[in-house]
Structure 1
Amino acid sequence: MRKITIIGAGGKMGMRISRNLMNEAYDVSYIEISESGKERLNTLGIICTTSELDIVDTDVVILAIPDVAIESASPGIVQKMKTGSLLITLDPAAPFAGKLFRRPDIAYFLAHPSHPSIFNWEPTLEAQMDYFGGTLAKQTMVCALMEGDESDYQLGVEIATKMYAPISVVHRITVEQMAILEPGLVETLSSTCIYVIRKGLDEVIRKGVPADAARDFLLGHIHIQLAVLFDQIPGAVFSDAANKAIARGIDEIFKPDWKKVLEIENVKEQIMAIT
């Protein structure tokens, strides 16, 4: 039975991972230093420890701590790990920024969930409302082997699939590609655009459009717009009028060089700001 140690087991992601791994066929240790985190783990019936001595003989360490803490915390953790063990991180930011302590005699694996697609079909309302994933709704995940051999990758996939279950597809990409996806594509670009759309809704409500009417009209249009743009309706295209509005909107809202946020040097700047 493999021994796994979760660092930050009572945090936001740590709780999800702890819940999903607690009944799997692993010998799991849960490390948490905050009192609130310990209390959350207690709700799962998990007794955690604050001792990093559990790391010494573990096969796999899962680093479920915030990006900003990895630079200061990872040396003390990684130096205790045994030769041949595997470190799993949940986000590419700190590893890509060089803020994760490195040793040549252990393996490094990164895994991040995609979260359930808006085009998922789920059999129950409860599953349909699992927006984050890792509970009922199926999702995909992206993975990268930073250092190690193929057996390390396969072990990482085995554990990450259970961490984020239910997983439908595993996408193997590089660490750099993971960084382009997050923060570049889904946070700096996508979250910003969606945030501006929400602020636009607030603005038309301020101008006097009834709130329920504005919200229903917007969300319905977003649904069909996404279905058309992401090829969910074979052969469907926007109308000529909609295309003209899009061209005008791009000119008025976006800078001509907006795609620079996806260039790797710009992504590095984004990550340095995050970490």
Structure 2
Amino acid sequence: MTEVALIGAGGKMGYRLSKNLIGSRFNVRHVEVSEAGRARLENDLKIATVDMDRAIDGASIVILAVPDTAIGRVASSIIDKVGSGTIFVILDAAAPVAGHLPKRDDISYFVTHPCHPPIFNDETDPAARRDFFGGIAAKQHIVSALMQGSEAHYALGEEIAKVIWAPVMRSHRVTVEQIAILEPGLSETVCASLLTVMRQAMDECVSLGIPKEAARDFLLGHMNVLAAVIFEETPGVFSDACNKAIEFGIPALMRDDWKRVFEPQEILDSVHRIT
């Protein structure tokens, strides 16, 4: 069995990974610094934790399930203690792109991140339909990148990624820089911001006297059908009235230079703020 050290095993993300790794071919050594996290692992999953040195001794893979702000510090504290050929698995591109990973040429850095269950899906199981994050019951796609290392290490990294994010449909190979474009660029700077504006727009309708439930039902229903057409989930065209509203709506809502959020320096500034 492949030896894996899971750092942050009882945290918000680490707990999900710990649960999914149960029963896999990977022999996992769990590290958790918080008392609450250790108790959660022991009480819920019957998993005992070990100290850091024990976990990384002879481990082929080290998974850093810690906050972005801690990745550089944690990686630097153990980089000289792991063996040559060790694969570090990082769950977000922010710290790698920001330059927080310590330099060592004889180890591999593998970055992976979930796409989360898509809006348009074929889930029928109630648990899967309510699994919005993924990694529990709903199927999702993932993206992964090899920052440095061999192709064999990419294959091993992708294998463990499919376990920790299971159940997985498509596994996309991209670069680390492209993951950073996708997040924070596409998913947070653009999507989360615009969805927040949409929620604020709904609240504005409520302030104008429309019942909240009616406004919410109207917005979410239109989000569904409009997104289906825009993202080519179904064939269709918008009415002339809708197209005219879009023509005048985008300039009213968006700056002319909004796409600058995808410029390399903007992405770099964003990941530095995150980390």
TM-score under structure 1 length normalisation: 0.97
Listed as ranges, the gaps of 5+ residues in structure 2 are none
Equivalent residue, structure 2, for 1:109: 110
What's the CA shift for 1:262?
A: 1.1
1:170 aligned counterpart, secondary structure: strand
What's the CA shift for 1:36?
A: 1.4
Counterpart CA distance in 2 for 1:168 and 1:181 is 18
Equivalent residue, structure 2, for 1:15: 15
Structure 1 residues 48-197: aligned runs within 5 Å: 48-197=49-198
The letter for the 1-side match of 2:168 is I
Equivalent residue, structure 1, for 2:265: 265
2:9 aligned counterpart, secondary structure: coil
Counterpart CA distance in 1 for 2:229 and 2:201 is 22
What's the CA shift for 1:151?
A: 0.3
The letter for the 2-side match of 1:170 is S
What's the CA shift for 1:85?
A: 1.2
1:232-265 per-position Cα deviation (integer Å, ceiling 9, x unaligned): 112x111111111112111111110000011111
What's the CA shift for 1:69?
A: 0.8
Counterpart CA distance in 2 for 1:238 and 1:135 is 36
Listed as ranges, the gaps of 5+ residues in structure 1 are none
1:157-198 per-position Cα deviation (integer Å, ceiling 9, x unaligned): 111100100011110000111110000000001100001101
What's the CA shift for 1:135?
A: 1.1
Do the aligned residues in 2 keep the contact of 1:56 with 1:81 (CA within 8 Å)? yes
TM-score under structure 2 length normalisation: 0.97
The letter for the 2-side match of 1:122 is E
What's the CA shift for 1:26?
A: 1.8
Counterpart CA distance in 1 for 2:75 and 2:248 is 48
2:4 aligned counterpart, secondary structure: strand
Equivalent residue, structure 2, for 1:29: 29
Counterpart CA distance in 2 for 1:214 and 1:78 is 53
Equivalent residue, structure 1, for 2:244: 244
Equivalent residue, structure 1, for 2:205: 204
The letter for the 2-side match of 1:95 is P
Counterpart CA distance in 2 for 1:123 and 1:215 is 24
Equivalent residue, structure 2, for 1:41: 41
- Does residue 232 (structure 1) correspond to residue 233 (structure 2)? The answer is yes
Equivalent residue, structure 2, for 1:5: 5
Counterpart CA distance in 1 for 2:22 and 2:101 is 26
Counterpart CA distance in 2 for 1:119 and 1:252 is 29
Do the aligned residues in 2 keep the contact of 1:71 with 1:94 (CA within 8 Å)? yes
Instruction: Report the more deviating stretch, 170-179 or 200-209.
Output: 200-209
Counterpart CA distance in 2 for 1:10 and 1:146 is 26
Aligned residue-pair number: 274
Do the aligned residues in 2 keep the contact of 1:121 with 1:128 (CA within 8 Å)? no
Counterpart CA distance in 2 for 1:255 and 1:50 is 51
Do the aligned residues in 2 keep the contact of 1:64 with 1:89 (CA within 8 Å)? yes
Q: Percent identity?
A: 47
2:111 aligned counterpart, secondary structure: strand
Counterpart CA distance in 1 for 2:160 and 2:103 is 21
